[in-house]
């Protein structure tokens, strides 16, 4: 039973609305820590490393999917929402993990994947077997094809991973039959959320995990559940769509999603206090549309992907931060900042490219390679910026080590369906999912007791290993520890941001809860203001009165003697 907020544990979870400024660490179980030596990370591996997370100073962790799955999309293809894949452990391992996390004052969020299941899910198997017009088919989006023989897909929608969005099945009698929609891989059929069975099933799944003690859910593809009535053809070009609100597309951000989340919020509230939370993974624009997910009766958090995707440019960052704070603030929601996750090029590499903006397609050996030193310097500065902003923040495993993307993975080891479905136009996301290094000298950098790793690690991971940084002044892990401690002490997540405009337009400067934050994105050093002392710095300061290029500092009012 969940004991969130035990009085004997130093934890933000004692507060009812702890999520407003929580820092949550994303664990990608397959690549975090392997306890049994098979080269795949697992839940006992996570449990063994929970003291590391508590020591880092985060408030909780979000576990990417560990459910029973053929892993056609790394577990975002769920075959059983109430069981653990044997490669990751057992339900008993989840219980142990939650109990140990609770002892350490860490909240555990799990991933909920409601837009689609695996094609191995019993419901999909039953739908195929039951035939057209059956109640089993009504749980998914099966349609007849166009033309008299049905040989053309029902509409022109494409999969987000590349290729057609529809696949035709063979009916039980052996004839070519209906088509089913999959906005992602062919092995991920979309549910039909107008079907009452689907709604009831997911409410039951929510209860299953809440009863086991989870503190909340990161909701996958939260903007995709409802499709426009009649499934009309997409009439806009990709270029047009890029300039239009997301809901110009008939399968994203349709208004009907909101009643689903309102129902879930009511369900979660029956478990509190403290609050159990919903965090939206919704790639939605403009920000006003995102705010609709975060109205008081809906979700608690939603990732600020405009921040993650913003160029390393002070003016643009300031605009994104202002828009985010203003728009989410208007509905009483916190902003939820994030710089890296398992779907994008790690920020330590992204910010070291010639054009440091969003990179979602991955980087291959033949592509221009990021500048590792530059990327890391900027990544550390970006992290200090993020952790000073009012609101919540999510970290991605390995970023506290300054870990770069693996940009030279051999093509033959790639597992991301994006690689295949894009017909090799995009490398995909494997480069940010490589098992992380714990120990510089051990085989597999200590990821597993045998040294086995499901994806190969590059030799330079040795430099980033946790044990090579532990206790080393100025290391990235020590920077994260210091920043998280100071953020908590100064309650920066609850602060109010006030820009300080006296500095150059290429320098971000703001005050929040008595702390001044300066991030120098210009090409020359920026003067430190008088009367302030440095309490945290993302990199070395060459002199006591200047902030170097691509460096961030937190300042507190200097104490005067006498
Ligand atoms: C978003 C997840 O983060 C991503 O990894 C996955 O491929 C898609 N949703 C489909 O579930």
Concatenated DSSP letters of 263-320: HHHHHHHTT-SSPPEEEE----SSHHHHHGGGSTTS-SEEB-HHHHT--S-HHHHHHH
For 220, 382, 450, 508, the CA distances from 87, given in Å and listed in that order, are 22, 35, 16, 46
Question: Could you confirm whether 511 is annotated as catalytic?
Answer: no
Gyration radius of the chain's alpha carbons: 24
Ligand 1 pocket, residue 405 CB under 6 Å: no
Ligand 1 pocket, residue 34 CB under 6 Å: no
Ligand 1 pocket, residue 191 CB under 6 Å: no
Distance between Cα 160 and ligand 1 center (Å): 10
Ligand 1, pocket-test mutation among 220, 341, 360, most atoms within 8 A of CB: 220
Query: Which of ligand 1's atoms lies nearest the C-alpha of 341?
Result: 3
Query: Which of ligand 1's atoms lies nearest the C-alpha of 343?
Result: 5
For 121, 203, 328, 339, the CA distances from 371, given in Å and listed in that order, are 43, 47, 35, 18
- Residue length of the chain: 562
Please pick, among 111, 220, 253, 416, the residue that the annotation labels catalytic. 220
Q: Whose CA is nearest to atom 4 of ligand 1?
A: 343
Ligand 1 pocket, residue 111 CB under 6 Å: no
pLDDT at 10: 47
Query: Which of ligand 1's atoms lies nearest the C-alpha of 64?
Result: 3
Phi, psi of 402 (to 5 degrees): 75, 25
Query: Which of ligand 1's atoms lies nearest the C-alpha of 183?
Result: 10
Distance between Cα 241 and ligand 1 center (Å): 21
Q: How many CA atoms lie within 13 A of 74 on its CB side?
A: 24
Spatial CA neighbour of 74 closest among 190, 220, 217, 208: 220
Distance between Cα 92 and ligand 1 center (Å): 26
Ligand 1 pocket, residue 220 CB under 6 Å: yes
Question: Would you state the structure tokens that stand for residue 221, as one six-digit string?
Answer: 């593809």
Q: In DSSP terms, which residues pair with 336 in a beta bridge?
A: 303, 392
Query: Which of ligand 1's atoms lies nearest the C-alpha of 429?
Result: 5
Ligand 1 pocket, residue 221 CB under 6 Å: yes
Distance between Cα 195 and ligand 1 center (Å): 23
pLDDT at 13: 60
Distance between Cα 113 and ligand 1 center (Å): 9
pLDDT at 14: 62
Using DSSP's 3-state secondary structure scheme, residue 498 falls into: strand
pLDDT at 12: 53
Ligand 1, pocket-test mutation among 81, 191, 221, most atoms within 8 A of CB: 221
Distance between Cα 13 and ligand 1 center (Å): 28
Cα 475 to Cα 458: distance, rounded to the nearest angstrom: 20
Please pick, among 77, 281, 298, 415, the residue that the annotation labels catalytic. 281
Ligand 1 pocket, residue 184 CB under 6 Å: yes
Ligand 1 pocket, residue 290 CB under 6 Å: no
User: Each residue's pLDDT tens digit in the chain (562 positions)?
Assistant: 444 544 444 455 667 899 999 999 999 999 999 999 999 999 999 999 999 999 999 999 999 999 999 999 999 999 999 999 999 999 999 999 999 999 999 999 999 999 999 999 999 999 999 999 999 999 999 999 999 999 999 999 999 999 999 999 999 999 999 999 999 999 999 999 999 999 999 999 999 999 999 999 999 999 999 999 999 999 999 899 999 999 999 999 999 999 999 999 999 999 989 999 999 999 999 999 999 999 999 999 999 999 999 999 999 999 999 999 999 999 999 999 999 999 999 999 999 999 887 777 899 999 999 999 999 999 999 999 999 999 999 999 999 999 999 999 999 999 999 999 999 999 999 999 999 999 999 999 999 999 999 999 999 999 999 999 999 999 999 999 999 999 999 999 999 999 998 778 999 999 999 999 999 999 999 999 999 999 999 999 988 899 999 999 999 999 866 4
Cα 547 to Cα 517: distance, rounded to the nearest angstrom: 11
Ligand 1 pocket, residue 317 CB under 6 Å: no
Distance between Cα 436 and ligand 1 center (Å): 20
Q: Whose CA is nearest to atom 6 of ligand 1?
A: 76
pLDDT at 11: 56
Distance between Cα 239 and ligand 1 center (Å): 23
Ligand 1 pocket, residue 161 CB under 6 Å: no
Ligand 1 pocket, residue 76 CB under 6 Å: yes
Query: Which of ligand 1's atoms lies nearest the C-alpha of 76?
Result: 11
User: Residue 348, class by beta-carbon neighbours within 10 Å (0-12 exposed, 13-18 middle, 19+ buried)?
Assistant: buried
Ligand 1 pocket, residue 21 CB under 6 Å: no
Residue carrying the six token digits 């003291």: 51
pLDDT at 6: 44
Question: Could you confirm whether 197 is annotated as catalytic?
Answer: no
Question: Would you state the structure tokens that stand for residue 419, as one six-digit string?
Answer: 């690689």
């Amino acid at each position: 039973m969940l004991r969130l907020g035990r009085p004997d544990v130093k934890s933000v979870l004692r507060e009812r609305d702890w999520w407003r400024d929580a820092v949550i660490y994303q664990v990608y179980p397959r690549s975090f820590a392997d306890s049994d030596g098979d080269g795949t990370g697992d839940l006992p591996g996570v449990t063994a490393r929970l003291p590391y997370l508590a020591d880092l100073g985060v408030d909780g962790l979000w576990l990417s999917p560990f459910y029973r799955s053929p892993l056609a999309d790394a577990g975002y293809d769920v075959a059983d929402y109430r069981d653990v894949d044997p490669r990751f452990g057992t339900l008993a391992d989840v219980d142990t993990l939650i109990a140990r996390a609770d002892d350490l004052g860490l909240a555990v969020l799990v991933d909920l994947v409601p837009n689609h299941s695996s094609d191995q899910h019993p419901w999909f198997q039953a739908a195929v077997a039951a035939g057209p017009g059956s109640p089993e088919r009504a749980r998914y989006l099966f349609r007849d094809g166009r033309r008299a023989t049905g040989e053309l897909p029902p509409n022109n929608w494409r999969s987000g991973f590349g290729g057609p969005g529809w696949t035709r099945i063979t009916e039980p009698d052996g004839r070519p039959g209906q088509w089913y929609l999959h906005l992602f891989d062919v092995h991920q059929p979309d549910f039909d959320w107008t079907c009452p069975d689907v709604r009831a099933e997911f409410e039951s799944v929510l209860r299953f995990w809440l009863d086991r003690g989870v503190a909340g859910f990161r909701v996958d593809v939260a903007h995709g559940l409802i499709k426009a009535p009649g499934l009309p053809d997409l009439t806009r070009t990709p270029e047009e769509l890029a300039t239009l609100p997301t809901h110009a597309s008939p399968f994203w951000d349709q208004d009907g999603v909101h009643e689903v989340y309102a129902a879930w919020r009511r369900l979660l509230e029956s478990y509190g206090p403290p609050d159990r939370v919903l965090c939206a993974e919704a790639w939605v624009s403009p920000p006003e549309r995102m705010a609709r997910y975060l109205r008081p009766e809906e979700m608690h958090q939603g990732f600020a992907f405009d921040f993650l995707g913003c160029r390393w440019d002070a003016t643009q960052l300031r605009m994104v931060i202002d828009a985010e704070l203003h728009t989410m603030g208007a509905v009483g929601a916190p902003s939820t900042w994030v710089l890296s996750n398992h779907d994008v090029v790690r920020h330590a590499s992204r910010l070291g490219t010639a054009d440091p903006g969003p990179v979602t397609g991955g980087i291959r050996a033949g592509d221009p390679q990021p500048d590792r030193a530059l990327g890391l310097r900027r990544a550390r500065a970006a992290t200090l910026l993020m952790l000073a902003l009012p609101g919540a923040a999510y970290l991605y495993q390995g970023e506290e080590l300054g870990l770069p993307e693996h940009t030279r993975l051999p093509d033959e080891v790639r597992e991301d369906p994006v690689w295949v479905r894009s017909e090799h136009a995009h490398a995909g996301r494997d480069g940010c999912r490589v098992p992380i290094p714990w120990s510089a000298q051990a085989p597999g950098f200590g990821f597993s007791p045998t040294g086995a790793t499901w994806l190969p690690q590059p030799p330079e991971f040795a430099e980033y290993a946790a044990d090579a940084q532990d206790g080393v002044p100025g290391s990235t892990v020590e920077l994260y520890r210091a920043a998280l401690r100071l953020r908590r002490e100064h309650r920066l997540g609850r602060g109010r941001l006030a820009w300080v405009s006296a500095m150059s337009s290429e320098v971000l400067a703001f005050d929040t809860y008595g702390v001044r934050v300066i991030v120098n994105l210009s090409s020359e050093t920026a003067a430190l203001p008088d009367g302030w002392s440095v309490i945290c710095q993302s990199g070395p300061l060459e002199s006591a009165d200047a902030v170097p290029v691509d460096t961030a500092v937190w300042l507190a009012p200097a104490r005067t003697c006498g």
